[in-house]
């Protein structure tokens, strides 16, 4: 019986693989899946930033991706919302920070969720087929190089008065069980010198078509800025949530300090659920040598009024 069961499983797997191969063949008929990386293609580095305008489902939005091997972030601006998405693969968490406008006060709200084996991390927002730029550049849903991804040179062209080389690719995306074909328009380094270093192509446009068998979506990335290997401090700022944003149950990446010195200064922020999750800020100073401490706190008394309190304790003279 065990042998028969294994045989049936093998047949079902083979049928599934053949069905998927056939669907890839049909979807990629006009753009066959390339084998390997064309030598004309300038490989995207492991760290980059890209700002683009995306025309998707009759909506125009601005999208910025900051990308690194273990973290990436997407900032999405549209007429209806401002949302930032953060994927932290080492910490296994996804953060979504949305800024809404109400009562003349912009209030960021943060939602945290765990990244599991079932989490779809190749798309910007659940329920859509809007892919991250990194997926289109040959990275898998966990920010590693996709060994099955390939790209081939197609033709020369011109876009926005810039001489270009046109490339094509067609490949699978595992976490959303979809097939995507992309046409890449990049500057020809032999005919046009951009603001990048020598032999660095400027990415100008991505024409994307995605299908998962049930539906199909097409959209265009009009790239305004592409920065390979950005400065580390700049990249770190883009990959981290901004100040003034509090994410409940967020994973701490730093241990509690030990062997503290005689003088310590600390800053902290918290969230007050009783005041619509408003942010309060705290500043502390402790000096054990002079036996002195100071505590400053700023917190909202109402949605429009901010209170500031300071407490000073001098244990040498016994005054507070």
Q: How far apart are CA 221 and CA 54, in angstroms?
A: 5
**119-147 average pLDDT score:** 94
Confidence of residue 300 (pLDDT cuts 50, 70, 90): confident
User: pLDDT (tens digit, 9 = 90+) per residue, 207-255?
Assistant: 999 998 888 999 999 999 999 999 988 888 899 988 778 888 888 877 7
What is the Cα–Cα distance from 187 to 175, expressed in whole angstroms?
A: 31
Give the angle subtended at the CA of 64 by the CAs of 59 and 68, to the nearest 5°.
140
Q: Is the pLDDT of residue 16 over 90?
A: no
Please report, rounded to a whole number, the percentage of residues in the chain having pLDDT higher than 70: 87
pLDDT of residue 148: 87
- pLDDT number for residue 19: 43
Lookup: tokens for 10:
């093998």
The β-bridge partners of 281 are: 269, 298
When pLDDT is averaged across residues 266-284 and rounded to a whole number, the result is: 78
Specify whether the CB–CB gap between 182 and 152 falls below 8 A.
no
What was the pLDDT predicted at 21? 43
- Short-list 25, 21, 23, CA closest to 13: 21
Identify the residue with better confidence: 119 or 196: 119
Residue 12: pLDDT over 70:
no
Contact 313, 296 (CB under 8 A): no
pLDDT at 144 over 60: yes
pLDDT at residue 5 in the model: 45
Residue 88 has pLDDT above 50, yes or no: yes
**Mean predicted confidence (pLDDT) in 289-293:** 91
Please give the structure tokens belonging to residue 295: 């505590």
Q: Where are the alpha helices (DSSP H) in 33-153?
A: 133-136
CB 130 within 8 A of CB 54: yes
pLDDT at 136: 97
β-pairing, 105-114 vs 93-102, is: antiparallel
Q: Is the pLDDT of residue 278 over 70?
A: yes
Cα 229–Cα 140–Cα 169 angle in degrees, nearest 5: 90
């Amino acid at each position: 019986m065990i042998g028969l069961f294994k045989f049936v499983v093998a047949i079902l797997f083979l049928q599934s693989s053949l069905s998927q191969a056939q669907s890839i063949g049909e979807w990629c008929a006009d753009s066959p899946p390339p084998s390997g990386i064309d030598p004309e293609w300038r490989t995207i580095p492991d760290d980059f930033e890209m700002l683009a305008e995306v025309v998707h489902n009759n909506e125009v939005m601005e999208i910025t991706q900051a990308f690194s091997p273990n973290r990436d972030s997407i900032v999405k601006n549209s007429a209806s919302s401002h949302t930032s998405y953060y994927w932290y693969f080492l910490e296994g968490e996804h953060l979504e920070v949305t800024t809404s406008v109400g009562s003349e006060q912009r209030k960021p709200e943060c939602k945290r969720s765990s990244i599991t084996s079932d989490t779809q991390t190749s798309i910007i927002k659940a329920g859509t087929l809007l892919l991250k730029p990194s997926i289109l550049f040959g990275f898998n849903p966990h920010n590693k190089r996709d060994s099955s991804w390939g790209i081939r040179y197609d033709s020369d062209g011109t876009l926005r008065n810039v001489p270009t080389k046109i490339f094509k690719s067609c490949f699978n995306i595992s976490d959303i069980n979809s097939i995507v074909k992309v046409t890449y328009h990049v500057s020809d380094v032999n005919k046009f010198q951009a603001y990048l270093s020598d032999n660095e192509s400027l990415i100008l446009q991505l024409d994307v078509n995605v299908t998962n068998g049930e539906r199909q979506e097409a959209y265009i990335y009009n790239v305004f800025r592409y920065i390979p290997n950005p400065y580390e401090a700049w990249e770190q700022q883009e990959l981290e949530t901004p100040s003034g944003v509090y994410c409940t149950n967020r994973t701490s990446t730093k241990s509690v300090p030990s062997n503290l010195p005689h003088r310590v200064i600390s800053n902290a922020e918290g969230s007050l659920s009783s005041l619509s999750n408003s942010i309060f800020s705290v500043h502390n100073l402790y000096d054990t040598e002079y036996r002195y401490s100071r505590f400053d706190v700023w917190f909202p008394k109402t949605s429009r009024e901010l209170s500031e309190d300071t407490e000073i304790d001098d244990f040498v003279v016994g005054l507070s």
